[in-house]
């Protein structure tokens, strides 16, 4: 959190002098924070694997969830960087791209759920 505070104050001070440096400081601070958060992924990954093993959920489901979360977080980071740089159009395009990528990751799971629902209905019909 100290990195975020230092980065924010430094970017704020630089914004009046050199706005382009303020954007770079914001990006660098965000990247450092993101790398720091990545170290926590090991514990999360082990917990999710344990849950998959306990409830007999295929590991492919875990991979899909991780992909979706990664896309969501990276998209949010990119959108915020673009907005800080004053690039609203790029931010909007990036947001749409992130949503399309998430949709493409979830379609196979949605299709599998629909197939499961249809098979349950067929089995329940007399």
Three-state helix/strand/coil letters over 97-123: HHHHHHHHHHHHHHHHHHHHHHHHHHH
Domain count, the chain: 2
Label residue 23 by pLDDT band (50, 70, 90).
Answer: confident
Which of these, 85, 80, 89, lies nearest to 22 by C-alpha position?
A: 85
Please give the pLDDT value at position 42: 73
58 and 89 co-located in one domain: yes
What is the spatial distance between Cα 70 and Cα 77, in angstroms, rounded to a whole number? 11
Q: What is the pLDDT of residues 51-67, one digit of tens each?
A: 888 988 888 888 888 88
pTM of the model: 0.68
98 vs 8: CA distance, rounded Å: 26
Would you say residue 96 has pLDDT above 80?
yes
Whether residue 41 is predicted with pLDDT greater than 80 in this model: the reply is no
Domain region containing 121: 42-126
49 and 109: one domain? yes
- CA atoms within 13 Å, Cβ hemisphere of 97: 13
């Amino acid at each position: 959190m100290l990195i975020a505070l230092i980065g924010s104050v430094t970017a704020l001070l630089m914004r009046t002098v050199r706005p382009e440096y303020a954007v770079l400081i914001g990006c660098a601070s965000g990247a450092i924070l993101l790398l720091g958060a990545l170290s926590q992924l090991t514990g999360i990954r082990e917990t999710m694997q344990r849950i998959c093993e306990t409830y007999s959920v295929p590991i492919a489901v875990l991979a899909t969830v991780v992909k979706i979360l990664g896309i969501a977080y990276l998209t949010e980071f990119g959108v915020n960087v673009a907005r800080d740089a004053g690039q609203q159009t790029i931010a909007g395009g990036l947001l749409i791209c992130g949503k399309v990528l998430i949709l493409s990751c979830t379609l196979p799971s949605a299709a599998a759920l629909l197939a499961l629902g249809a098979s349950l209905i067929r089995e329940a019909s007399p």
